[in-house]
Amino acid sequence: MAESATPEEPGGTPATTPKAGGAPTPDAPAAAAPTPKRKLHEGPGRLLVTLYGVFTVAAASRSVFQLSAQFDEAPLAYLLSAFAALVYGFITFSLVRGGERARKAALVCCAAELAGVLIIGTWTLVEPSAFPDETVWSDYGRGYLFLPVVLPVIGMLWLRRARRA
């Protein structure tokens, strides 16, 4: 019969060794087990995936229609909406995929989204004539209940927290 790598006390419980302070601790194999990490799309991340998924569909649908039927009216606004749809789609994909690289990519995209919302939102207030029609990010996302300015902040907070989890 093969002998166990971890010594056991009678009754099948792992043996313990005293710590420097005198308190017993389980031997190394059990103590070194990694703790499972929370996936990016679990818990509050599930709401983020849902909201970013809805925004992806909304922005993509709007921009596809506007680019195909009304491009001459406000090309910059419609191209910015298409860009927003790509950003939302990438963030959604990254949250679902999970992993450290996806978390970092989503974090960068959330920061880019926030910068875009702040720049375009300010631009639409300062020079409204530059945007004959609204974009997803016009007036800081007013047409979308200001979620475009709030969502990336919540996303970045969640992604930072997920790194530490």
pLDDT tens profile 54-100? 999 999 999 999 999 999 999 999 999 999 999 999 999 999 998 99
Residue 13 is which amino acid?
A: T
CA distance 102 to 96: 9
Residue 129 has pLDDT above 60, yes or no: yes
Residue 35 has pLDDT above 50, yes or no: no
CA distance 80 to 49: 22
pLDDT for the residue numbered 36 = 46
| b/e code 24-42 from CB counts within 10 Å (16+ = b) | eeebeeeeeeeeeeebbbe
Average the pLDDT over 123-136 and give the result.
91
